[in-house]
A and B are shown apart, each in its own frame.
Chain A
Amino acid sequence: MRINAMAEGPYVAAQAAVTKRLTDKYAQAGRTIENDVLGEPVLWALSPQDAKILVKTFMLDENTKVDFLSDLTAYDNMDGEDGEGRFIMVYQLYSTTLHTRIRIKCRLTLNQPAETITDVFLGANWLEREVFDLYGINFNGHPNMRRIMMDERFSGHPLRKEYPIKQREPFNDNVRLHMGANAREVDTHIKEGGN
């Protein structure tokens, strides 16, 4: 029985076809596939590198036609429910032509960096910064790996399960005016008699 929060539509058949394609073609060589409560496919990648390869492959595959990154996030796997690995990276992919969703997950050990996908989707830039900020997961090749939500001087990563919910770290002043991590040095004070 279908859930009426997901009403009938042409996308239902397309979603089934994509799930079948994933099961037949990609759920091999150690990768596993499962369905969530809505019947959308969740593909477990072998490694962060594998996850990135999968993202790129789904964009080229005529049967999946992924062209949109809906969301990129992570969650803590402290209790080991989802296998070995401290964190789970989650990629929510979407196809604006087929209107189907694919979720890719991969396991990360503590201090293991993930691979950036900013070269594929520009929108991943801030999402990866958010994951770095809140979970402390680093991204290889990210152009601007800084905190985004919390202050730059903040210590710890709040969404980790061991971070106490009532821990506070207030700052009295703002972050100094600057142009990001990799922007060129800007000198606002021109020397006497210059220009």
Chain B
Amino acid sequence: MASFFQEKDPHQLNDFYNPNVLINLGPAHPAMHGTLRVMCRVNGETIEDANCEIGYLHRGIEKLGEDKTYHQWMVYTDRLNYCSALNNNIAYAMAVENLFKINVTERCMWIRVICMELSRIIDHIICVAINALDLGAMTVFWLLYHWREEAYTMIESMCGMRLTTTYARIGGMSYDLPDNFTERLWKFCEEFPKALDEVEGLLTSNRIWIDRTKGVGIISKEDALKYSITGPVLRASGVDHDLRRDRPYYVYPELDFDVVVGSNGDVYDRYLIRLEEMKQSVRILQQCNKKIPNGPLWVNDKRVMIPEKLDVYTKMEVMIHHFKIFMEGIDVPKGENFSCVEGPNGELGFYIVSRGGPKAWRMRVKSPSFMLFQAFEASVKGGKIPDAVAHLGSVNIIAGELDR
């Protein structure tokens, strides 16, 4: 047989048994989620060595943070993890408010928690649906994306935008919740878990899904800690760590929710964790809907408070104040902080060094995807190429956040 092929094409069979074939996955490939590039050395179908090349979506967001005022930079946080823009907005606003040592109002805190949980649901929907889509299960994608659409419509009613929200402001939110929001959220909390049950019925005990995901892309507990992974992937590896519970912020201490922890650290566990976390988020949303108080949305602090539009148009001093805030920027006191929230993908931190004035001296974004992709490079070795696709989908790497 061998001689037959060699006569036809001397390179064909040689290449097949060559342990040194290089394969390029990405940067523009449907399974590579954005602009990720993995260069693999394969032997047959086994990846023996992998090298990730990142930076295809590098926009210099940290450099821009030193050039724009604090308010201007808010829009760039939308473009970090564009699947959960609300979460980034709020995490950033929180870091700047910490520099002011401002306490936002009670109502603002509850709204922020609702926003963060809603965006967590959206992010997990994207991860689970796309992961299943990559492995050929298209029905899950349609089922879940209907609810993602509904969540986006709710977000649109909150701030007028869907994907890049820019909802938070330093010291408050740009708008209060719309009138019919409570009923809408109730309906969402009632009906979305039914879709989750349906997905669970389709996937959790599905033979094909289990074969493709169980024991694939394992990240052990020790490796997960050494690689500084956070979020659902860390919890899937068996580390009980969630910043919402361990270092609570806003009103999380008053809310009742469970931290979901896995044991095997494979793709299947990550899927189960994400599914259960969505249910926990729905639980949180229901509690928020019950408990959200009325009251002022904005903190009463002249340094950051954006004046009422009506006053801006009718009173001269207020108009000057408005212009000062938006043309010059707010004067942030000297100091620094590293403030983190539990984002959908893990610990999302903003390290801001302020030396006074309207612009930051250093704006550092600690993104969870960066750590996840680094661990991906290490743990993909030894697996098969189709497993790499399943693994990549399950860790939910967002290129905007990875490259910044």
- Taken together as a complex, chains A and B put the C-alpha atoms of A121 and B226 apart, in Å, by 5
- Interface of A toward B, CB cutoff 8 Å: 1, 3-9, 11, 36-38, 40, 42, 67-71, 73, 75-76, 79, 81, 90, 92, 96, 99, 101, 103, 121-127, 130, 134, 148-151, 158-159, 161, 163, 165, 174-175, 177-180, 183, 186-188, 190, 192-195
A183-B249 in contact (CB<8A)? no
Can you list 28 residue pairs at the A/B interface with Cβ under 8 Å?
A: A1-B103, A6-B249, A7-B251, A7-B252, A8-B248, A9-B247, A37-B335, A37-B336, A67-B225, A69-B228, A70-B340, A73-B364, A75-B362, A92-B349, A92-B351, A103-B338, A122-B378, A125-B374, A126-B374, A134-B62, A149-B54, A149-B58, A149-B403, A175-B53, A179-B39, A183-B49, A194-B14, A195-B17
Name which of B60, B247, B351, B370 has the most chain A CB atoms within 10 A of its CB: B247
Residues on A with beta carbons closer than 8 Å to the beta carbon of B24: 177
- Taken together as a complex, chains A and B put the C-alpha atoms of A93 and B237 apart, in Å, by 20
Nearest CB of chain A from residue B61's CB, rounded to whole Å: 11
Which single member of B20, B246, B336, B337 contacts A188 (CB below 8 Å)? B20
- Taken together as a complex, chains A and B put the C-alpha atoms of A179 and B377 apart, in Å, by 12
Nearest CB of chain A from residue B13's CB, rounded to whole Å: 8
Residues on A with beta carbons closer than 8 Å to the beta carbon of B374: 123, 125-126
Answer yes or no: B321 CB below 8 A from chain A CBs: no
The answer to whether residues A71 and B364 also contact, given A38-B98, A40-B338, A180-B51 and a CB cut-off of 8 A, is yes
The answer to whether residues A148 and B10 also contact, given A4-B104, A125-B374 and a CB cut-off of 8 A, is no
Residues on B with beta carbons closer than 8 Å to the beta carbon of A127: 370
Which single member of A71, A165, A177 contacts B63 (CB below 8 Å)? A165
Residues on B with beta carbons closer than 8 Å to the beta carbon of A151: 55
Give the total of B residues in contact with A, Cβ under 8 Å: 73
Q: Which residue of B is nearest A144, CB measured? A: B51
Which single member of A73, A76, A150 contacts B351 (CB below 8 Å)? A73
- Taken together as a complex, chains A and B put the C-alpha atoms of A195 and B10 apart, in Å, by 11
Nearest CB of chain B from residue A177's CB, rounded to whole Å: 5
Which single member of B228, B337, B361 contacts A75 (CB below 8 Å)? B361
Nearest CB of chain A from residue B240's CB, rounded to whole Å: 8
Answer yes or no: B366 CB below 8 A from chain A CBs: yes
Residues on A with beta carbons closer than 8 Å to the beta carbon of B63: 158-159, 163, 165
Residues on B with beta carbons closer than 8 Å to the beta carbon of A195: 14, 17-18
Interface residues in B58-110 (C-beta closer than 8 Å to A): 58, 60, 62-64, 66-67, 94, 97-99, 101-104, 109
Residues on B with beta carbons closer than 8 Å to the beta carbon of A6: 98, 247, 249, 339
Name which of A126, A134, A175 has the most chain B CB atoms within 10 A of its CB: A126
Residues on B with beta carbons closer than 8 Å to the beta carbon of A174: 27
Answer yes or no: B355 CB below 8 A from chain A CBs: yes
The answer to whether residues A4 and B103 also contact, given A123-B228, A177-B24, A190-B14 and a CB cut-off of 8 A, is yes
Residues on A with beta carbons closer than 8 Å to the beta carbon of B253: 7-9
Interface residues in B312-352 (C-beta closer than 8 Å to A): 335-340, 347, 349, 351
Given contacts A7-B253, A37-B337, A99-B246, 14 further A-B contacts (CB under 8 A): A3-B101, A5-B250, A70-B338, A92-B338, A122-B223, A122-B378, A123-B374, A134-B62, A148-B54, A149-B55, A149-B404, A165-B67, A193-B10, A195-B18
The answer to whether residues A75 and B67 also contact, given A179-B22, A180-B51, A187-B20 and a CB cut-off of 8 A, is no
Q: Which residue of B is nearest A81, CB measured? A: B355
Residues on B with beta carbons closer than 8 Å to the beta carbon of A175: 53
Q: Which residue of A is nearest B22, CB measured? A: A177
Residues on A with beta carbons closer than 8 Å to the beta carbon of B103: 1, 3-5
A123-B10 in contact (CB<8A)? no
Nearest CB of chain B from residue A15's CB, rounded to whole Å: 9
A178-B39 in contact (CB<8A)? yes
- Taken together as a complex, chains A and B put the C-alpha atoms of A7 and B43 apart, in Å, by 52
Answer yes or no: B169 CB below 8 A from chain A CBs: no
- Taken together as a complex, chains A and B put the C-alpha atoms of A113 and B227 apart, in Å, by 23
Nearest CB of chain B from residue A28's CB, rounded to whole Å: 23
Residues on B with beta carbons closer than 8 Å to the beta carbon of A158: 60, 63
Interface residues in B195-223 (C-beta closer than 8 Å to A): 223
Name which of A37, A158, A159, A180 has the most chain B CB atoms within 10 A of its CB: A37
- Taken together as a complex, chains A and B put the C-alpha atoms of A134 and B62 apart, in Å, by 10
Answer yes or no: B259 CB below 8 A from chain A CBs: no
Digit string of B111-154 for contact with A (CB within 8 Å is 1, else 0)? 00000000000000000000000000000000000000000000
Which single member of B41, B54, B66, B98 contacts A37 (CB below 8 Å)? B98
Nearest CB of chain A from residue B238's CB, rounded to whole Å: 12
- Taken together as a complex, chains A and B put the C-alpha atoms of A39 and B247 apart, in Å, by 14
Answer yes or no: B156 CB below 8 A from chain A CBs: no
- Taken together as a complex, chains A and B put the C-alpha atoms of A165 and B66 apart, in Å, by 10
